[in-house]
Amino acid sequence: MSVQIQSNKVNGIESTGRTIPISNCQTRFAKIRMLGRDMWYDIESHRVVKWQEGDTVVELAGDLNQAESSTTCTDCASEPQKQDLGKKLYQIEYSHKINCIELHVNDKCNFRCNYCYLKNAGIEYLDNEMPQDVAAKAVDFLMSQLPEGEGGVIKFYGGEPLLSYRLMKFIVKYAQDQAKAQNKKVFFTVNTNGTLLTDERIQWLLDNKIRVTISIDGNKESNDKFRVFTNGQGTFDIVVKKAKKFLAKASYLNIRSTISDGTFQLKDSVLELAKIGDSKRVKLQTECNYVGDVKVNHADVVKLEKDHEELAQVYIDKLKKGEKISYANFQEPMFKSYYSIKTPYKCGAAMSLVGISPKGKIFPCHRFIDVHETEMGDVDNGLNGKMIPEFVHNRVENKFPCKVCWARHFCGGGCAFNNFFTHANVEDPNNVYCRLFRHQVALGLYIFTEVQRLKSEETKARPVKAQPVELSPATGATGM
């Protein structure tokens, strides 16, 4: 069916969605145009319901008018309905208990990345390491927050965490013992530059089921521009060598790349890193640096948008050949839309997770370590109540311009750390981030509709197997 979309303004911001009255509230369908394709995204149900390209029109949710009239709004629903909707639609919620601690085990590093977030806190490359007694108290703090039978997560950050390998081993053993004694569960992750991975350390990580993410900032040229050793030499060759070693033993590899300016070679970088292993085992993700002396600016975004479009075309071409690239920046919006998972917060910072410094001070997350105005307590006395109200209120529906942005339920309002170092508060989003993030979401939705199209074509092209026809006496069968 044909759906006419009219332009309207919401709180002074131009929108290409139409406003559809339902009882006393409104539900908006946003019209998104990407790579020559128009897509209608239902903000309330968090799904693409229709797309059109040329003369081809595809309905993904049946009759669009019916979808509009049957939408339930949280403002008009009864209280039980609201609770059910909340459980269904919002997967990241405020928790009164901490279930994750990010341990900043040291400030030491064998790299000198010129965009390192430690610079913002003035603690760059100090020889600090968390004492064992502080580490034990941090674990005790986590356990005190977990109900019996529940699980918590300990994430290792630095600096370079593996420079404190002996401390990590102590923390893991102590946490496992405490969890067992208290009928609780504990899980672990670590973010590392990968250079200190040895056979023995890899085996220890695997034995203790510690999920590993290795930082590699793209291909050799992109990576070695920013990630260098203390002597200034590039790190790419040795990190890739270590990453391959880890993959051979672990059968998975998570790679995180930081984009620091428009010179980052996105398409070539993703394709090169994807060659390390197949898509089922190698997962790639990029994050931009939006604060500090080295950061992505508006001019960089223009290039990065084009780069992402080129990568999306390559992604689709590979799908047509039966190949795949596991690139989270595209796949996450596809996943969230398919399962209607809305994100009211960017993460659980200061609510369900906190960062803990080497001195035992508690902060909203590991990136806020030693940003003293955001200190939330310490491992001796627990939380002091500060910062929590600000983060709880920092819900995407509560703040402008997020609450009128069509991509708000994919985003959650942006990283609070980036917001803080852009506007000196955790609420106001970094508009450079907003533009690029919306573009990535639109590309993810475009790929999602293209996958649907390819599946449809495959189904039509598939030969139909002849089914045996059972004849009854009425059709002339003899029964013999």
Q: Which tens digits make up the pLDDT trace of 329-360?
A: 999 999 999 999 999 999 999 999 999 999 99
**Distance (Å, whole) CA 210 – CA 215:** 16
Confidence (pTM)? 0.85
Whole-number pLDDT of residue 456: 83
pLDDT above 90 (res 21): no
**Distance (Å, whole) CA 140 – CA 337:** 38
pLDDT above 80 (res 78): no
Residues 53, 56, 62, CA angle at the centre, nearest 5°? Answer: 105
**Distance (Å, whole) CA 154 – CA 178:** 13
- Residue 115: band (very low, low, confident or very high) from pLDDT cuts 50, 70, 90: confident
pLDDT above 60 (res 469): no
**In this predicted model, what pLDDT tens digit does every residue of 360-405 receive, in sequence order?**
999 999 999 999 999 999 999 999 999 999 999 999 999 999 999 9
Please provide the DSSP assignment of 269-320 as one string: HHHHHHTTS-TTTEEEEEEE--SSSS---HHHHHHHHHHHHHHHHHHHHHHH
More confident: 82 or 253: 253
pLDDT above 90 (res 150): yes
**In this predicted model, what pLDDT tens digit does every residue of 416-444 receive, in sequence order?**
999 999 999 999 999 999 999 999 999 99
- 230-237 average pLDDT score: 96
User: Of 312, 300, 326, nearest to 436 (Cα)?
Assistant: 300
Q: How many Å from the N-terminal Cα to the C-terminal Cα in the chain?
A: 51
307-329 exposure pattern, b = at least 16 Cβ within 10 A, e = fewer: bbbebbeebbeeeeeeeebbbbb
CA distances from 11 to 15, 31, 42, 401, 428 (A): 10, 18, 19, 9, 16
- 20-33 average pLDDT score: 57
pLDDT above 70 (res 451): yes
The beta strands (E) that lie in 131-205 are given as: 151-157, 185-192
- Residue 17: band (very low, low, confident or very high) from pLDDT cuts 50, 70, 90: very low
Whole-number pLDDT of residue 246: 98
- 125-144 average pLDDT score: 92
More confident: 198 or 19: 198
Q: What is the mean pLDDT of the chain?
A: 84
- 48-54 average pLDDT score: 91
**In this predicted model, what pLDDT tens digit does every residue of 248-269 receive, in sequence order?**
999 999 999 999 999 999 999 9
- Residue 189: band (very low, low, confident or very high) from pLDDT cuts 50, 70, 90: very high
Whole-number pLDDT of residue 97: 86
User: Of 216, 234, 214, 238, nearest to 224 (Cα)?
Assistant: 234
Lowest mean pLDDT among 20-29, 173-182, 206-215: 20-29
Cis ω on the peptide bond leading into residue 159 (within 30° of 0)?
yes
More confident: 469 or 251: 251
Whole-number pLDDT of residue 293: 86
**Distance (Å, whole) CA 20 – CA 43:** 12
pLDDT above 50 (res 79): no
- 221-241 average pLDDT score: 96
Round the CA-based radius of gyration of the chain to a whole number and report it: 25
